[in-house]
Structure 1
Amino acid sequence: MASDSIKLYSLVYAGLVGLAVLNYVLFEGGLDLAYDISFVGTMVIAVLKTALVVAFFMHLKWENRSLTYLMVLALVLTLLLMSAATYSIT
């Protein structure tokens, strides 16, 4: 059993390292991509890395769905507050 969890965490870690390398390649790898494409790619990679960390290292994958929905609600409300604060600055 412990060996299975070590394999799982190792795979997740390798995925995080792979995504970090891909992020580096988008900006510094000499692909000569437009900034907008690199920015969108970086945001997608950031979401994937966050999902991996939250699901596996914070053990949200094995929690009740109600806790997952609560975390998603907190994220949505935080984003709404951030957007409201952005537009309220004059």
Structure 2
Amino acid sequence: MADVRTYTLIYVVLLVLGTGKFVFFQFPEIFPETVAIGGTIILAVIKSLLIAGFYQHLIDEPRAISYMMAVAVFMVFLLTIAAGYSIQ
């Protein structure tokens, strides 16, 4: 179990990453739209990994549970792709 210092550090990192997403879209002369969208997706993945790892305590779980969660997320991704393909 992590201590308060770890949770505070993760909270600050999440706050900085959230601010980074805001900065991407507030300076279009520095970050074109495609770079802003790509950067936002990357930051969102990092934030979701931090939240799942520390706040949902997946860091302390056995590796088999983490692998099972990764497979489930991958399957949801595949279903989303298939649904998008069938709509076209």
The structure whose residues are more often helix, as a share, is 1
2:25 corresponds to which residue?
A: 27
Identity of aligned residues (%): 32
The unaligned stretches of length 5 or more in structure 2 are none
- Please report how far the alpha carbon of residue 38 of structure 1 lies from its aligned counterpart in structure 2 after TM superposition: 0.4
Per-residue displacement from partner, 1:16-45 (whole Å, max 9, x unpaired)?
0000111111111x2522100000000000
Structure number with greater CO (CA < 8 Å, separation at least 6) is: 2
Matched, 1:68 2:62: no
Aligned residues: 87
Instruction: Give runs of ≥4 in structure 1 deviating > 6 Å.
Output: none
Q: CA RMSD in A?
A: 1.5
What is the 5 A alignment of 1:5-44?
5-28=3-26, 30=27, 32=29, 33-44=31-42
The unaligned stretches of length 5 or more in structure 1 are none
TM-score (norm 1): 0.91
TM-score (norm 2): 0.93
8 Å CA contact retained: 1:25, 1:31 = no
